[in-house]
Amino acid sequence: MSHPPIYTHEAMKTAFSIRLDGASETFARSATQAAFAHLDEIEGKLSRYRAGSDVWQINHMEAGQSLFVSDLTEECLRIALRALEETEGFFDITLGSLIQHRKDAKDTPMPPLQGCLSIDPSRPVVYCIEPGREIDLGGIGKGYALDRMVDLLKELAGNHALSGLISAGASSHLAFGDRVWQINLRGTHAEKKLSLHNQALSASGIEIQGEHIVRPDGQQIEATHTRLWVQHQKAADADFWSTAAMLMPLKTLLELGSFQGTIFQENKNSQQIQAFSPPSPNS
C-alpha cells in the first residue's frame, strides 16, 4: 500500500498531521493548506489562552453580561452540552479554573466551584449568570477540529474519492474514506495494532501532563486509569468519552446507554490491551 506524504502544522499546543490517499500532489497541498487555515480559525475562537477569543471573552464576563459567539464556538459548546448529559456529568467544560489549579498547584486544596454560565437555546449567545466558571475545551477541542477539517476536505474533494487520516499529536486520530489505516496503541507493557476505517480514536492518560483531569464535583482524586483509548464515529465524541472514562469505572461506562463506542485498556496482569464495548440491546 502506498505511503502518502505527511503534511504537518502546529496548533493547540501540538502537531497536527494530514495524510491523503487518492489525491494529486497539487490537490493535497492546496487542500491541506485550507484545512490548516480552518484549524487556525478554530483555535482562534476556542482557545482560552488567546486574548479576544470567544472562550477568553466568556471566561472574563461579569454577572449579567452576554456574548454573541461565532458559529464554530456555538457548535462546539452544544456538543459539549450533549457530552455533559451523555456522560452524566463526568465531562464538564466549565471546570477551567479547577483544571488550571490542579496543573499549577496540585498539592493544595481545590478552590470552591462557583459561578454559572448558560447558552441560549436558539441563538449563539452565552450568558454569565454568576462569574466563577471558566470554559476549558481541552478535552474536546482537538477532536472537534478534526471533525471540521475532515468536513472541509470532503467538500473540497467533491465527487472525487478521497481517503485520509488526520491526527492531533499522538492522542487523537480521524480516518475517512475507503482506506483502512493502521494505528498502534502503546501501553506501559503492551502494544496493539488497530484498524481505523471511517472512525476516530482518542487517547487519554496521566503519564505526560500528570493528574490534570478533574472530577465535576471538584474532588482531587486519582484517575481510574493511567491510559486508555476510545474508538467512536466522531472525533469530538471520542475525545470527550476518553476524558470522562478516565474518571469512571469500566462497568459504569459500559452500562451507560449513551456510550456507543469501544474502549481499550491495558490489562496489567495479562500485559495485553483489551477492547470492551457496551452489551448489545438483545444480550
Q: Point out the residues of the chain with pLDDT beneath 50.
A: 101, 208-212, 218, 220-221, 223
Closest CA to 93 of 184, 7, 213: 213
Q: Which three cell numbers mark 267?
A: 490489562
Q: Is 19 among the domain residues?
A: no
Query: Can you give the pTM of this predicted structure?
Result: 0.90
* Domain annotation covers residue 250: no
- What residue type is assigned to position 154 of the chain? K
| Residue 154 near residue 146 (C-beta atoms within 8 A) | no
Q: pLDDT at position 210, please? A: 42
Domain of 115 in residue numbering reads as 49-130
- What single-letter DSSP state applies at residue 131? B
The cell numbers describing 163, all together, are 481517503
Read off the C-alpha cell for 212: 490534570
Q: Residue 101 has what pLDDT? A: 45
Total structural domains in the chain?
1
Q: Is position 192 within any domain?
A: no
| d(C-alpha 54, C-alpha 153), whole Å | 25
* pLDDT of amino acid 221: 47
Give the model's pLDDT for residue 109.
61
Q: What is the pLDDT of residue 267?
A: 76
Question: Is residue 100 assigned to a domain?
Answer: yes
**Are 250 and 93 spatial neighbours (Cβ–Cβ below 8 Å)?**
no
Instruction: Give the integer Cα–Cα distance in Å for 73 and 124.
Output: 8
In a domain, 37, yes or no: no
- Show the CA angle centred on residue 27, arms to residues 23 and 32, nearest 5°: 100
Q: Is 74 inside any structural domain?
A: yes
Distance CA(141)–CA(92), nearest Å, equals 13
Instruction: Note whether residue 3 is domain-resident.
Output: no
pLDDT of residue 32: 98
In a domain, 123, yes or no: yes
In CATH, what number is assigned to the domain containing residue 108? 1.10.3980
